[in-house]
Amino acid sequence: MRDDAIVLGLESSCDETAAAVLRADGTILAEAVLSQQEEHARFGGVVPEIAARAHLEHLPRLVAQVMDRAGLGYGDLAGIAATSGPGLIGGLIVGATLGKGIAIAHGLPFVAVNHLEAHALTATLPGILPAAVLAVLPEARGRDALPAAGDGRHAGPVRFPYLLLLLSGGHCQCVAVEGVGRYRRLGTTLDDAVGEAFDKSAKLLGLPWPGGPALERLATQGDPAAVPLPRPLLGRPGCDFSWSGLKTAVAQAVARGPLTGQGKADIAAGFQAAVAAVLADRAAHAIAMVPGATALVVAGGVAANQAVRAALAGAAARHGLPLVAPPIRLCTDNAVMVAWAGIERLRRGLTDELGHAPRPRWPLEELAA
């Protein structure tokens, strides 16, 4: 695939409707993301039927918008990539069907993108690393080492193999990324996703949805040591996660109220500190499991949390690795990552039949087959 080849990416797996046009050298020609936050806020969470209808209403317009901004016609494209799982099935059907329709109409190859693979490969997108690399020990910086933030040196994409912490409202897992289509899951949550724990703890504190950003803001006003909260699986072998007990502890702390504003801030700070400590501990275990890893990459909505980033940066630095966190807009659901995953698969001649069915569950490990 030539570096000037162009791919259209579509994302509709949950409550963000997105389209992007990307060149194979990593240049983003145009992107658009439409949040559905207002539609779902009054329900306190994502309603699948509302999400699917919003994708159906807005995705064709966003596609036309990015194509116009990029100054392209469909004949200029080398392929179409659309998220086809995992996610909410209604939204996946909308995006995949639109992608297939464009592919049929213009004789283009179609790539059914695994949403988790799109997150996993974002760190290999050229041009993001100077702002994305958060920490690396000075003694680890050899000729081929990735630079620390502010080094000013050119940075190429992260090299395989690397470790991925995927942290979102629907996913919490640690994966060894060994190559495109080659993934080895090292650990996953035994109950809740970490983003779900953020949202539900925020709801217990009376904060608006989405709860993660609201809880992070409140935590800045609190004392993380004021309310003792558990750190599930801290120090245990492996890198599995468990968040239900921490969420229950928050509920018990709230029930002991009545709470003042400071009391809520203290609980929020304690919750956030517990999450950050557990994630750093699990990351350290994962690094030990993959001694040849070149970097620790964090992606997903929870990767936007600054306390989590700082804790993971410390864990990575203690093992001589950089922490790579893509820009926040590329950590959350977006179509740039979908187009890039499509490009990486097209480079290898990996396309999908138009009969490929969207999948609400689609483990990364199944891509190798």
In this structure, how many other beta carbons lie within 10 angstroms of the beta carbon of residue 285?
Answer: 19
CA–CA dist 77, 211 (Å, integer): 39
Which of 7-16, 106-115, 121-130, 210-219 comes out lowest in average pLDDT? 121-130
pLDDT at residue 151 tops 80: no
Task: Tell me which amino acid residue 227 is.
Answer: V
Q: Is 119 within any annotated ligand binding site?
A: yes
Q: State the pLDDT confidence band at 37, using cuts at 50, 70 and 90.
A: confident
Give the pair of three-digit tokens for residue 266.
């203290």
CA–CA dist 228, 211 (Å, integer): 21
Average pLDDT over residues 124-146: 51
Task: Tell me which amino acid residue 157 is.
Answer: P
Q: State the pLDDT confidence band at 156, using cuts at 50, 70 and 90.
A: low
pLDDT in tens, 195-231: 999 999 999 999 998 899 999 999 999 999 999 999 9
Average pLDDT over residues 221-247: 96
**CB of 80 closer than 8 Å to CB of 103:** yes
In this structure, how many other beta carbons lie within 10 angstroms of the beta carbon of residue 224?
Answer: 19
pLDDT for 45: 83
Which of 2-6, 94-98, 146-150 comes out lowest in average pLDDT? 146-150
Parallel, antiparallel or unpaired: strands 172-179 and 162-167: antiparallel
Q: Is 212 within any annotated ligand binding site?
A: yes
CA–CA dist 46, 210 (Å, integer): 9
Q: Is 44 within any annotated ligand binding site?
A: no
Task: Tell me which amino acid residue 361 is.
Answer: R
pLDDT at residue 318 tops 70: yes
pLDDT for 41: 83
pLDDT at residue 278 tops 80: yes
pLDDT for 157: 67
CA atoms within 13 A on the CB side of 322: 28
Q: State the pLDDT confidence band at 314, using cuts at 50, 70 and 90.
A: very high
Q: Is 333 within any annotated ligand binding site?
A: yes
Q: Is 170 within any annotated ligand binding site?
A: yes
What lies within 8 Å, CB to CB, of 251 at 6+ separation is 204
Give the pair of three-digit tokens for residue 98.
């639109």
Give the pair of three-digit tokens for residue 19.
């389209």
Q: State the pLDDT confidence band at 155, using cuts at 50, 70 and 90.
A: very low
Average pLDDT over residues 342-359: 96
pLDDT for 369: 54
Domains, the chain, ordered by start: 6-121+330-367 (3.30.420.40), 129-325 (3.30.420.40)
| Averaged pLDDT score across all residues of the chain | 90
Q: State the pLDDT confidence band at 81, using cuts at 50, 70 and 90.
A: very high
Average pLDDT over residues 230-252: 96
pTM: 0.90
Q: Is 199 within any annotated ligand binding site?
A: yes
Average pLDDT over residues 77-81: 98
Q: Is 365 within any annotated ligand binding site?
A: no
Q: Token match 């579509």: residue?
A: 10
Distance between start and end Cα atoms, the chain: 23
Q: State the pLDDT confidence band at 169, using cuts at 50, 70 and 90.
A: confident
Between 257 and 68, the more confident residue is: 68
CA–CA dist 51, 12 (Å, integer): 9
Helix, strand, coil fractions of the chain, as percent rounded to 5: 45, 20, 35
User: Which segments of 245-321 are extended strands (E)?
Assistant: 296-299
Parallel, antiparallel or unpaired: strands 296-299 and 162-167: parallel
Q: Is 305 within any annotated ligand binding site?
A: yes
CA–CA dist 100, 102 (Å, integer): 5
pLDDT at residue 173 tops 50: yes
Report how far apart, in Å, the C-alpha atoms of 23 and of each of 4, 68, 77, 103 are. 6, 15, 9, 17
Give the pair of three-digit tokens for residue 320.
């001589």
Average pLDDT over residues 128-133: 54
pLDDT for 132: 53
DSSP string, 185-218: EEEEBSS--HHHHHHHHHHHTTPPSSHHHHHHHH
What lies within 8 Å, CB to CB, of 238 at 6+ separation is 186, 187, 285
